[in-house]
Amino acid sequence: MKRCVIIGGAGICDYSAVKTHLSDRDFYIFCDSGLFHEKGLGVSPDLIVGDFDSHRKPDRNIETIVLPREKDDTDTFFAVKEAIARGFSEFLIVGACGGRLDHTFGNISILLYLHKSGLDGKIVDDFSEMEIVAENPKYIDGSFPFFSVINIDGSSRGITIKNAKFPLENAEITCDYQYGISNEVLPGKTAEVSVSNGAALLICVRKA
C-alpha cells in the first residue's frame, strides 16, 4: 500500500529538506492553501480537499472534495480520515506547523489520533521530524543535534531514554512539567526512546 502524504497550508521555507522525504510512489492529498506548495515541492495532487477559504477552488481534472466552511474537522483532519477510509496506514504530513498556533496544535494531535488507530504518522517541517513514541522504541542517530520527548496525552509513564546526554529509566513526564526537552545523542551512539505506559511526542530537531 502506498504511503499517504498530506500537504497543509502552513509555511514551508526549506523545500529542499522536505522534498528528501517524498517519493513518486506516494499518494498526495493537498488541503486548501496547501496548493501553494505544489510548485515548491515538485509534486502533483492525487486528491484535493478543502473548504477553499484560503485558496481559490481549483478547476482541474483532479478529484476534489469541497467541504463546508462550518464543520468540526479541519481540512487536514478530514484529509486524514478520508485517507484512512481509502485504506492508507502510513502518513506523512507537511505544511502542518507554523503560523496559527491553534492549527499547529491540532495537526500535532493528528499523530496521536493515528497512533491510537494503530497507524503510523510523521510530521516534517523546516526544523524537525515529529512522531509518537510508545512501547516500540524509536531510534535517533547523530544527524539530529537535539531531540525532545513531550507528554501530549497525559499518561506518559515508564519513559526510558538510552545513549543520550540526559538518560531516563522508567520515568514520568507530566503535562505541566515538560523536562524532556533538548536532549542530545551521545557521540557515536544511537539514542533509544520508549514509553511503557501511554505515549509521548518525539521531536527530532534537524537544526536549531
Distance (Å, whole) CA 202 – CA 205: 10
Q: What is the mean pLDDT of the chain?
A: 93
For residue 115 the three cell numbers come to 497512533
Q: Would the pLDDT of 124 be above 90?
A: yes
Question: What's the pLDDT score for residue 140?
Answer: 97
The pLDDT tens digits of the residues spanning 172-190 come to 999 999 999 999 999 999 9
Distance (Å, whole) CA 115 – CA 120: 6
Same fold across 4-126 and 132-205 = no
Q: Would the pLDDT of 67 be above 80?
A: yes
CATH classification for the domain delimited by 132-205, as one of 3.40.190.10, 1.10.510.10, 2.60.120.320, 1.10.1040.10: 2.60.120.320
Q: Would the pLDDT of 117 be above 90?
A: yes
Distance (Å, whole) CA 191 – CA 2: 29
Q: Report residue 56's pLDDT band, with 50, 70 and 90 as the boundaries.
A: confident
The CATH number of the domain covering residues in 4-126: 3.40.50.10240
**Domain residues of the chain, as ranges?**
4-126, 132-205
Task: For residues 190-208, give the mean pLDDT.
Answer: 93
Dihedral of alpha carbons 80, 43, 105, 102, sign: negative
> What pTM, to 2 d.p., does this model score?
0.92
The pLDDT tens digits of the residues spanning 17-49 come to 999 999 999 999 999 889 999 999 999 999 999
